[in-house]
Amino acid sequence: MYGHLNNAAYYYYFDSIINKYLIEHCGLDTCSTNTTKPIGLVVSSQANFYASASYPHLIHAGLRITKIGNSSIAYRVGIFEGDNLTACVVGGYTHVFVDPNTRRPVQALPKTFIEGLEKLL
């Protein structure tokens, strides 16, 4: 309606790129019925807006990991419009991985997570 993407859409992009990476490179299985595999809960998020993106331009996203903790991962995402090298939005969030039954943080992230995440540090 205002000729640009709504700010909430960027958070959708953040979530999509982060979870796509976790699924493809870290072994995350969001459809698993296994009640012993940790699940990620978003505990903080933020975004800084620098320019507007608009339809029908192609959107690109860049992902990096800023911190790997015992049970947490902090992500940084840049959203770019078309071939523009200046980000429209830079933001991201922090996951804390918890036991799906108790909702308490895990003692350590799975080894497959660490191996996949270290590629983006």
Residue 50 lies in a domain: yes
Residue 2 lies in a domain: no
Arithmetic mean of pLDDT over the chain: 91
pLDDT in tens, 91-107: 999 999 999 889 999 99
Distances (CA, A) of 43 to 12, 53, 75, 83, 94: 16, 27, 12, 32, 6
pLDDT at residue 116 in the model: 95
pLDDT at residue 2 in the model: 66
Residue 1 lies in a domain: no
Q: What CATH number should be reported for the domain holding residue 60? A: 3.10.129.10
What is the four-CA torsion angle of 39, 43, 49, 54, rounded to 10 degrees? 30
Q: Which two tokens stand for residue 56?
A: 């029908």
Residues of the chain with pLDDT > 70, as a percent, come to 98
Radius of gyration, alpha carbons of the chain: 16
Our count of domains for the chain comes to 1
Amino acid at residue number 71 = S
- Give the domain extent around 80: 7-120
Q: What would the mean pLDDT of 15-23 be, rounded to a whole number?
A: 95
pLDDT in tens, 56-80: 889 999 999 999 999 999 999 999 9
Predicted TM-score of the model (pTM): 0.89
Return d(Cα 57, Cα 77) in angstroms, integer.
18
| pLDDT band for position 1 (cuts 50, 70, 90) | low
